[in-house]
Structure 1
Amino acid sequence: MCHKTSIIILSYNTLEMLQLCIASIREYTEAGTYEIIVVENASKDGSAEWLKEQGDLRCIYNEENQGFPKGCNQGLKIAEGTEILLLNSDTIVTKDWLSNLRRALYSDPVVGAVSCVTNYCSNNQQIEVSYRGMEEMQAFAADYNKSNPASWEKKTTLVGFCYLFKREVFDKVGFLDEQFSPGNFEDDDYSLRILQQGWDLLLCHDTFIHHFGHASFSKGYGDQEAAEKARRSNALIERNAALFLKKWHVPERYKFMAAEEVRRLLQSRAGADEAVHKRCLPSEKKIAVLLRDSHTGQHEVCLEALKNVKWPDGYEVEVFTIDAQKPYAAQVNEVLADTDAKVKIYINDDLFLVHAQAIEELLKIFQDESIGMVGFLGSASLPVSGSLMDSPYKYGAVYVPTEEDFSEMRFGTAVQAAADVRYILPSFFATQWDIPWDESYEKQYYAVLAYCRAFEEEGHRIVVPLPENIWCAYQVKNISFDASEADQKKFFTRYYTYLDGTESKESSTLYACGEGSKIPSWQEFSFPEGIAVGRETHICKTALCRLVRPNFAGKPRIIVGDYCEIGIGSTLAAVNCIELENAVSVAENVHIKDYVLDESGVGISTADRELLTEKGGIHVERGVRIEENVLIRGAVRIGRGSIVRAGSCVQQDIPPYCIAEGSPAHIVKAFSPRAGKWLPVTGDKALRRLLSEREKTPPLLTYAFITYNRSRYLKKSLRCVLQQIGNDELTEILVSDNASTDDTRAFVEEMRKTYKNLRYHCNEENVGTEANIHTAVRKSRGEYVLVAGDDDYFADGALLVLLTKLVQHRGAALFYLGQGDDALRVYEGRGPLEYLRQVSFFMTWITAVVLRRELYALLPEPRKYDYTRIPQVYLQMEILKRKEDFVVLHGNFFDEGTGDCQPDGYELGEIFIKNYFDLLQDVVDIPSEQLSKEKRWVMERLILPRCRKVKEEHINLTLDRLFDIVREYYGEEPYYPQIVESLESILRGVR
């Protein structure tokens, strides 16, 4: 076969390098084996004029810069070669470069694309070089470029500076995706498209060309222009990274996964390029039936019944067989990966459908998108035995065989569209949303129960219809389910940790009980199925919770939140609902009941008196403290942070942050945000005046999120904050959105319907992370502002601790939140140098910094150091120069999982050594001894550990210039040789 390579080069203001590039192609590539296509993107440096003088080039001249993907596509349209090469204009090719790459490309039919190594590149395509000029470079390359198949490496992606692929690959995969214009991630996208179609990508470690890379990035620009160019570049990278992940739904570390693993992921998932992978979204008009095969005769009856059902017009139906002899959940996950059907119907062959319209009625229920799962029979509670059939709260209907015919088994009081349940029987159910199954369960029964809990945790409803026409019938008299003792133990250990084996199998479990809670007397509770308890809550042995009436209807009537304490002899008795939010403290002998007894009767016993209730019940908000011997009754709401003093009788609402006492209870004190302390209250008029003042006083704290196209992180972090300070009038929660294109806006707007102190701001365009920090501060209303990343999660209660310390140390310029497992420690200091000693480089983590907003407003150039990517360091130093007081808090502020999203793409040494120390020394006069200590601290506590993580966890941080930067900033330090030795040891083998 006679090969001809179409080399496509984009030209934009790189005339000098373009000339070098084309000259090197002419010199080091065999004549007649290639064509050069140059797409000239409206350069202003004379490139077009020079190109027009070249007789051996095919050129396209654009009137404006089309960007990289569009420009390449223009070249692809006219390319005539048997293979196609995308080549950057800032490269210089070398001896045997193209013949080596072709040899690898055609070494196997399965190879689709190849690339080479260079001196400046990401994706482990960079090697160490020592040449000092182009002549030495060519000598180095001539010696290096020896074709060696043993040095070809399979990759999951190739960088597009030199990207060679076959004509047949282009014919199948198509053009570059122009949504990534003007550039970045189009090569990652093309790589995944090639992988998805079944071809391999090879990195040829036996072939080297020179790449100038970003050497000309700031050429011709002043500092401000370069900073602005960097800002726009960073914003573009963020935008395109988000587009890439939204398109492909791959793990962020996919580059470091095995190629075959990524290919399997791509080929089994819907969601890539519609032109290549048709299953971009679940098919609304497609149903997958997962039929469990356990008995040949039953299987045939079940299958025949499915054929006779009336399937909705226009729907495609596909049937998958689940082998009853193999692990159930693992088989189901394989089917979910293989189908793009939106609706999945799960059916066991011991049952068959008898109602022709069953599927139509099922789909009608799914028109309510809050419903995730529909079953034929389910329960609102789970007995200790684990058998749903033992529950008194079953719903649904089915026919069961008798000696002569079938009889109707119906649970529920009336025919209705659907009843909410917590669990469904596995014989027949359907879903319209996908959640991965837990494959640690081998058998079906508990795998399905665990799947129900997963749906509940995701916020999807589980329902069972009570239809007039029963949908299905069992084929066997003795109904049994596929379960095992190991699965049962696993399930109860996961969801019902408080059970100790002494309970009656017929009794119901609690509606919920969180991890770490202690409820020794739960078996004494009446109707425990209607009682939910959160995490780390302690209810004393002699304290009782009870539903006064047998009126559990699927939702808990007593809800006790996380970290609550209920003391000796206290009782909670509910007719409608009693809810205690998180961190509520109930002392000894407190009685809370959401009803009163009718007193209109004459001479009748208490048992004969009517219970008078109001719909709202009792709601005790977060952080309330109820002292001993208190009675709370009727429909009452007690606001967050309030205190009810001993011996009080509460029969009416108590506003937030108030102290009440007496019988009947009345407000004696209330917290004033303006005064920063609790003030006495004498009468209703004084209370109304103080509450009105609260409404007019700016929030004490604004918690401001900065986010861009990362709703999956924001949903977790925002909920974490809302559960602590949502609807707290002392705080404001702000989301500063950098023009996200995902569902960020919709999610936040939905949350705003519930939380009145949540605000949303969206930039008109992505202004970059650093600019969005300033936007968040400027848009805040709080006296203090904390700007947080969207993947940082505060421990429950931590923000209330922060609020308390803001009040106690009000006026301080800065607060820093240091993470620790010990009891809270507070350090007060003054001035930038002392702050540097106490906080060190940890000040680069913006989520841990709380600053006084009025001091930020005094800075003449707050964005002066945005180009460093750590402007927060500058802000802290400048603020402390204006007001010296600061407070460092050390405590358990952040939850595990904070920083979920791994850092990506930046140069470690440039930001945390060069930029950090340049910035510090620009704004603060640091004594040489302190500076030396800080350098050592940064190296030992940040750089070396982060380098280990880069190597061990394959984090995508650039280390290209690390040794040069270390030499520049540490070369005079006495411990410099040890640093180099440590870095070389850690990074050995990292390309």
Structure 2
Amino acid sequence: MNGLKNDQDIYFNFGTQSLLAETGYISDPSRISIGNNVQVQAGYHWSINDAASGSTPNLTIKDGCSVKAGLHVDCIHKVHIGRNVQIGPYVSMSDRRAAAVRPGYPGWASTAGDTNSLEVLEVGDGCILGAHCVIAGPVKIGKFSIVEPNSVVMNHVPSYCTVSGNPAVVTKVFVPEALDWVAVNGEADREAALALRREHPLLSIVIPTYNRAHHLNNILHSIYNQICDEDLVEVVVTDNASPDTTQVIGETYASLFSSLHYSRNKQNIGADLNIAHVSSLAKGSFIKLNGDDDYWRDGALIDFIGIVLQNLDCTLIHTNHFNSDGQVFRLEGCDQFLTHTSNNAVHMTMNTMKRSVWDQIEDKSKYAYTSINQIYWFYDILSLDPKFCIINRDLYYYAGVAPEGYNVGEVVIKHFLDALQHYEGRALKSETIREEKKKRLYQVILPLYEIIVTHGYSSDVSNYEEYYTDYYANEDYYEEGLLKLRQLSAIKQ
């Protein structure tokens, strides 16, 4: 559906796969914008006044919101509802400055103050507004906060907090170190809890980088365009002695955002050791590995944070960008992880680790020569705590940099299969490894070689056939695979 039409033939912006019930009232549809996948139930009453100017919509409801029956909005300038907000039944909100809000009465029914205010009522991404609550005046409710039913919000609410009462006050603060919502009593308790999570955020996005200043700028822009300087997210960048302008990019962003920590290695320590180094600097409860050429899609980071908050007991969170049906499912154990992630686990950007479990790995650099050191981390983590979840969603733009800096056959054949054999009989069943080995030939080894030779990439594929023979000679499908490899090698020549 592209839009709805009122009696005056005026359209408003209406996203795809959204549903607005027919029974409701909108005073001026031309000043409303509804995003994608928004569901609005009947009985709404949206009064949009003429005080605002310009083409910006007065009422904005972003992607993924769920609005129960009877939402009342009184807007004289701008009411902005962020992504994935859940609004309970018969909620009222007004951006008017109310002189007083009488108990049991919504803000729009109370004595109004400055009706010419150009301030904004903003409900942050991922918030939950309980039934019959009132948002009164141009206040900001921070991301992922919860307003309890029947509460009246008259002041700003920090992100990741629960408020209740009339007037509403903070009663709980999400503290990542505890991985829980901690009850607070009074302003002193609240400030102490907020200070604690600034030291120990929920999520550390760690970016090891080398000689990709342009890509680093793009990824940092994609992050801070969504979270600004949220205290539950930190970004850690380690520059592996890049000769380009990476240092300028890192220091510039660090001067703009207190949550970004940039450091530069005195010398290039290699990719694997740099990944281990940047991960060791993380303070968050979860370590989000991020390649320096993988950018977050608009709104994707906000969606991801919401999923993390719903799966705090998982030790690994894997993103499957090849399936974008939006499902999130939980599994357990190394065999299930291998079956469902296969080669995708090699792409570090697809993986997030619980730091408390990662810290238990004794030697995090033991397999740094393999170019897939993180694969050992993942299976060690699941051996310690088997719970993980998979997100079927395409969260990133991939720059598509060609494989370089390593021998492709050595990594995708030898090192990967060596890693699986390392856990055979302990964390992985032999049958699971055999199934993966065959799947790997037809879904990774042959297709990757074909991409490299047909596109003329300068990737190192020397001894590719030899590595294949070393690991597949005893398989009954060996000859079939060898023939295909030789056909591709002929194209390369």
**Fold match (TM-score > 0.5):** yes
Q: 1:940 to 1:665 in 2, by over 3 A?
A: same
The question of whether the paired residues in 2 share the 8 Å contact of 1:816 and 1:887 is answered with no
8 Å Cα contact 1:649/1:665 also seen in 2: yes
Q: Hey, what's the Cα distance between the residues in 1 that align with 2:236 and 2:115?
A: 42
Cα separation, partners in 2 of 1:702 and 1:905, compared to 1, 3 Å? closer
CA distance in 1 between counterparts of 2:211 and 2:73 reads 44
Answering whether residue 405 of structure 2 is matched by residue 901 of structure 1, we say no
Indicate conservation of the 8 Å contact 1:824/1:889, yes or no: yes
One-letter amino acid matched to 2:374: Q
Which of the numbers 828, 844, 867 marks the counterpart of 2:332?
828
Aligned with residue 947 of structure 1, among 432, 441, 449: 449
Q: 1:666 aligns with which of 153, 163, 169?
A: 169
Following superposition, the deviation at residue 828 of structure 1 comes to: 1.9
For 1:693-704, list aligned pairs within 5 A. Answer: 693-696=196-199, 698-704=200-206
SS at match of 1:562: coil
Question: CA separation in 1, counterparts of 2:464 and 2:392?
Answer: 33
Residue equivalent to 2:103: none
- Assess if the C-alpha contact under 8 Å between 2:211 and 2:246 holds in 1: yes
The structure-2 alpha-carbon separation of the partners of 1:960 and 1:535, relative to structure 1 and needing over 3 Å to count, comes to same
The alignment's TM-score, normalised by the length of structure 1, stands at: 0.43
Seen in structure 2, the aligned counterparts of structure 1 residues 658 and 851 have a Cα distance that, compared at 3 Å, is closer
Q: 2:290 aligns to what?
A: 788
Select which of 850, 872, 875 maps to 2:352. Answer: 850
Partner residue of 1:594 out of 95, 98, 104:
95
Of 967, 983, 990 in structure 1, the residue corresponding to residue 485 of structure 2 is 983
Q: Structure 1 residues 905, 545: CA separation in 2 closer, same or farther (over 3 Å shift)?
A: farther
Of 304, 310, 316, the residue aligned with 1:799 is 304
Q: Given residue 662 of structure 1, which amino acid in structure 2 is its aligned partner? A: G
Q: CA deviation at 1:634?
A: 1.6
Which secondary structure does the structure 1 equivalent of 2:309 belong to? helix
Give the secondary-structure state (helix, strand or coil) at the position aligned to 2:378: helix
User: 2:87 aligned with 1:582, yes or no?
Assistant: no
5 Å matches for 1:221-300? none
Name the counterpart of 1:887: 387
1:174-216 C-alpha deviation (Å, 9 max, x unpaired): xxxxxxxxxxxxxxxxxxxxxxxxxxxxxxxxxxxxxxxxxxx
Selected match of 1:621 from 117, 124, 130: 124
1:875 aligns with: 377
CA contact 1:818–1:889 (8 Å) conserved in 2: no
Q: Within 1, Cα distance between the matches of 2:27 and 2:293?
A: 40
Going from structure 1 to structure 2, the CA distance change for 1:526 and 1:747 (only over 3 Å counts) comes to farther
What's the counterpart of residue 262 of structure 2?
760
Q: Give the aligned residue type for 2:294.
A: D
Tell me the amino acid that sits aligned with residue 804 of structure 1: L
**CA deviation digits over 1:779-835, x for unaligned, max 9?**
2222331221133355624422442255234xx4x4444454363211122xx6775
Identify the residue that residue 142 of structure 2 maps to in structure 1: 639
Match of residue 912 from structure 1: 412
- Separation in 2, partners of 1:780, 1:609: 47
Counterpart Cα distance in 1 of 2:192 and 2:110 = 44
Q: Look up the match of 1:528.
A: 30
Code of the aligned partner of 2:129 = I
Counterparts of 2:21 and 2:251, CA distance in 1: 42
After superposition, the Cα gap between the structure-2 partners of 1:889 and 1:722, relative to the gap in structure 1 and judged at 3 Å, is: farther
Q: 1:914 is matched by which residue type in structure 2?
A: K
- 1:708 maps to 2:213: no
| 1:654 equivalent in alignment to 2:157 | yes
Kept after mapping to 2: 8 A contact 1:793/1:894: no
Q: Does 1:675 align with 2:175?
A: no
CA contact (8 A) 2:456 2:492 kept: no
Change (3 A) 1:645 1:515: same
Contact kept in structure 2, 1:868 and 1:915, CA below 8 Å:
yes
In the alignment, the residues of structure 1 paired with residue 172 and residue 66 of structure 2 have an alpha-carbon distance, to the nearest angstrom, of: 24
Query: Equivalent residue of 1:989, what SS?
Result: helix
Q: Cα gap change, 1:990/1:693 in structure 2, threshold over 3 Å: closer, same or farther?
A: closer
Between the aligned residues of both structures, percent identity stands at 24
* Cα distance change of structure 1 residues 742 and 977 upon mapping to structure 2, 3 Å threshold: same
RMSD (Å) for aligned C-alpha atoms: 3.9
Bigger Rg over Cα: 1
Indicate the residue corresponding to 1:23 in structure 2: none
Structure 1 residues 852 and 690 mapped into 2: Cα distance closer, same or farther (>3 Å)?
closer
Letter aligned with residue 651 of structure 1: M
Letter in 2 for 1:872: Q
State the distance in 2 between where 1:569 and 1:861 align: 57
Amino acid at match of 1:582: R
**Per-residue deviation, 1:982:** 3.6
Q: Is the 8 A contact 1:520 1:539 kept in 2?
A: yes
Q: 1:547 to 1:954 in 2, by over 3 A?
A: farther
Query: What is the correspondence of 1:314-463 to structure 2 with a 5 Å cutoff?
Result: none
* Whole-Å separation in 1 of the counterparts to 2:252 and 2:33: 26
Which one-letter code corresponds to 1:800 in the other structure?
A: I
Give the residue type in structure 1 aligned to 2:165: G
C-alpha distance in structure 2 between counterparts of 1:928 and 1:989, whole Å: 36
Alpha-carbon offset, residue 720 of structure 1 = 4.4
Looking at structure 2, the residues matched to 676 and 852 of structure 1 have their Cα atoms a distance apart, in angstroms, of 11
CA contact (8 A) 2:59 2:79 kept: yes
* Structure 1 CA distance for aligned equivalents of residues 112 and 153 of structure 2: 21
Aligned counterparts of 1:537 and 1:642: Cα–Cα separation in 2? 19
The answer to whether the 8 Å contact 1:590/1:630 transfers is yes
Offset of residue 869 of structure 1:
1.8
Paired residue for 1:571?
Answer: 72
Going from structure 1 to structure 2, the CA distance change for 1:859 and 1:500 (only over 3 Å counts) comes to closer
TM-score normalised per structure 2: 0.80
Structure 2 CA distance for partners of 1:972 and 1:835, relative to 1, 3 Å = same
How far residue 619 of structure 1 moved from its aligned partner, in angstroms, is 2.1
- Measured in 1, the distance between the counterparts of 2:150 and 2:370 equals 60
- Unpaired segments of 5 or more residues in structure 1? 1-496, 600-605
Contact 1:673 1:700 in 2 (8 A): yes
Q: Which amino acid aligns with 1:729?
A: D
Q: How many residues align?
A: 477
Identify the residue that residue 562 of structure 1 maps to in structure 2. 63
Deviations 1:472-504 (A, max 9, x none): xxxxxxxxxxxxxxxxxxxxxxxxx83478885
Would you say the 8 A contact 2:26–2:45 is kept in 1? yes
1:913 is displaced (CA, Å) by 0.7
Task: Kindly indicate whether the alpha-carbon contact (under 8 Å) linking 2:319 and 2:390 is maintained by their aligned counterparts in 1.
Answer: yes
* Alpha-carbon distance in 2 for matches of 1:754, 1:516: 37
Which amino acid is the alignment partner of residue 415 of structure 2?
A: N
CA distance in 2, matches of 1:722, 1:546: 33
Query: Which amino acid in the other structure matches residue 844 of structure 1?
Result: V
The match for 1:549 is 50
The 8 Å contact of residues 706 and 736 in structure 1, kept in 2 or not, is answered as yes
Show the counterpart of 1:968: 470
